[in-house]
Amino acid sequence: MRRTASGTCTALLTALGLSMATASFGATVVQAAECGPDALGTSRTIVVDPKEHPRIGTMQYGETLPLNDHEVVLTFDDGPLPAHTNAILDILAAQCVKATFFMVGRMAKEFPQDVRRVHDAGHTVGTHSENHPFQFGNLPPDRMATEIDDGIAHVSAALGDPSLLAPFFRIPGLRRSEAVEAALGSRGIMNWSADFPADDWRHISSGQVVHFALSRLEAKGKGVLLLHDIQARTQAALPVILRELKARGYRIVHVVPATPERPKTVTDPAQWVPYWIHGPNIAVKAPSGFTFGAVETPFHDAPRSVRSVWLARQKVVARTSVVLLQPTATAPLLGKPARTNISAASRQRSLVRLPGSHPVRACDGAFKPLTAPIKTGSRTDAPAGPNIR
């Protein structure tokens, strides 16, 4: 990417099948795009081979994408949902930014035109299961396989060409298991975790989404950011996040899969292990309380299709109960201390009624760091009322 004398940010051109080596990783250059002088832009494209690196994202695994310092990969889950996905696409287009979208098969079947719009805008399209079931890693093998395969089938059908779908998958709720990883590996699919989330599935403000995204990025200096394109708060926060990334000197990297016509980016194995991984072993499980919520509450006058999808997803939200394990005189736990799980994160709640109207409140544009951390999984910010349980 270069700047012309007029200050217009112009990405380098590529022809089909042609690649160019960069000084660091040999990544292919991005497609030509015209950006405004203040646009963030997409600095480069990395081509990855899913079979060589089947699992990435240091929230769960010991390696991540081979990024330079101050490079970010944007990812969005759970869509498409026209009310928010299309607005997010417009925001990304205005900044000439490319991202990766992990789509739910049922949503793709409901809104195929929006799947095509994401692809036509130059973004990478992966999958996120058929129905986004909770506790994905604990599903029976046949149900797990159906969720993976049906999601791929419906997103491919929406695209109109299976070759347009990237062999990228993100496990719903990041609820991984060895069975899930084996199923994805046998299909040649790359399993994406993330390096940090913005907590935008929680009931927090758009300003708090900005805070989490930027503070966690600053702590690591680079990485894969997890967002959701079905949330109003994400739509409101995204322009501020992109503006702050530009102001802080961060660069956006686009990721695509290797094909016979598009060779992989040449990298060194050490480049896939970031500095914050201090050894070969890392806990491969989702963080405590890491449970994604349902689709953001739609408007009361939203199309029936949008409301029906939202209500259907509320019905599948599982409820968990608090279990106390206490040793007794007749049934000692082999001398081990009792384990108690009474955290707020262990209690899943959902809205069961559509309220009147909840317009998107745009972020005020000023980035204001929070003075105190928010307890993950809490619902203390939810208004009281009979519709909360």
The least confident of 177-181, 212-216, 336-340 is 336-340
Predicted local distance difference test score (pLDDT) of residue 367: 55
**How much of the chain, in percent, has pLDDT values that exceed 90?**
60
> How many Å is the Cα radius of gyration of the chain?
21
Residues 91, 235 contacting (CB under 8 angstroms): yes
Q: Read off the pTM.
A: 0.70
Averaged pLDDT for residues 104-123: 97
First to last CA, the chain: 51
pLDDT band at 309 (very low <50, low <70, confident <90, very high): low
Give the integer Cα–Cα distance in Å for 256 and 99.
10
Can you give the pLDDT at residue 380?
A: 32
Q: What are phi and psi of 37, to 5 degrees?
A: -65, -25
pLDDT for residue 28? 33
Predicted confidence band of residue 301 (pLDDT cuts 50, 70, 90): low
User: Confidence band (pLDDT; 50, 70, 90) for 211?
Assistant: very high
Take residue 250 and report the two structure tokens written for it.
Answer: 């961060």
Tokens 């384990």 label which residue? 339
Q: pLDDT grade, residue 5 (50/70/90)?
A: very low
Q: Is the peptide bond before 263 cis (omega within 30 degrees of 0)?
A: no
The predicted pLDDT at position 36 comes to: 76
Domain that holds residue 343: 1-389
Distance of CA 259 to the CA centre of its chain: 23
Work out the average pLDDT over 245-261.
Answer: 96
**By C-alpha distance, which of 85, 103, 219, 94 is closest to 154?**
103
Place of tokens 């994160």: 345
**For residue 354, what pLDDT band results from cuts at 50, 70 and 90?**
very low
Residue 80, domain CATH: 3.20.20.370
What pLDDT, on the 0 to 100 scale, is given for residue 307? Answer: 56
Q: What is the pLDDT of residue 347?
A: 39
Name the pLDDT band for 37 (thresholds 50, 70, 90).
confident
Count how many domains the chain has.
1
Q: Which residue reads 């993950």 in tokens?
A: 376
- Please give the pLDDT value at position 102: 98
pLDDT category of residue 376 using cuts at 50, 70 and 90: very low
Distances (CA, A) of 74 to 25, 123, 234: 19, 10, 12
Looking at residue 304, what is its pLDDT? 57
Please give the mean pLDDT across all residues of the chain.
76
| Residue 108: predicted pLDDT | 97
Contact present, 29 and 262 (Cβ < 8 Å): no
Q: Is the pLDDT of residue 126 over 50?
A: yes
pLDDT value at residue 333: 42
Span 52-81, pLDDT tens digits: 999 999 999 999 999 999 999 999 999 999
Of 51-55, 178-182, 257-261, 360-364, minimum mean pLDDT range:
360-364
Q: How far apart are CA 87 and CA 234, in angstroms?
A: 10
- What would the pLDDT profile of 213-252 be if each residue is shown by its tens digit? 999 999 999 999 999 999 999 999 999 999 999 999 999 9
Going by pLDDT thresholds of 50, 70 and 90, the confidence category of residue 365 is low
Please report which confidence band the pLDDT of residue 360 belongs to, taking 50, 70 and 90 as the band edges. Answer: low
Could you give the CA distance from residue 56 to residue 126 in angstroms, rounded to a whole number? Answer: 14
Distance of alpha carbon 351 from alpha carbon 386, whole angstroms: 10
Residue 159 to residue 113: CA distance in whole angstroms: 8
pLDDT, greater one: 229 or 28: 229
Which is more confident, 312 or 288? 312
Asked if residue 1 lies in contact with residue 30, where contact means CB atoms within 8 angstroms, the answer is yes
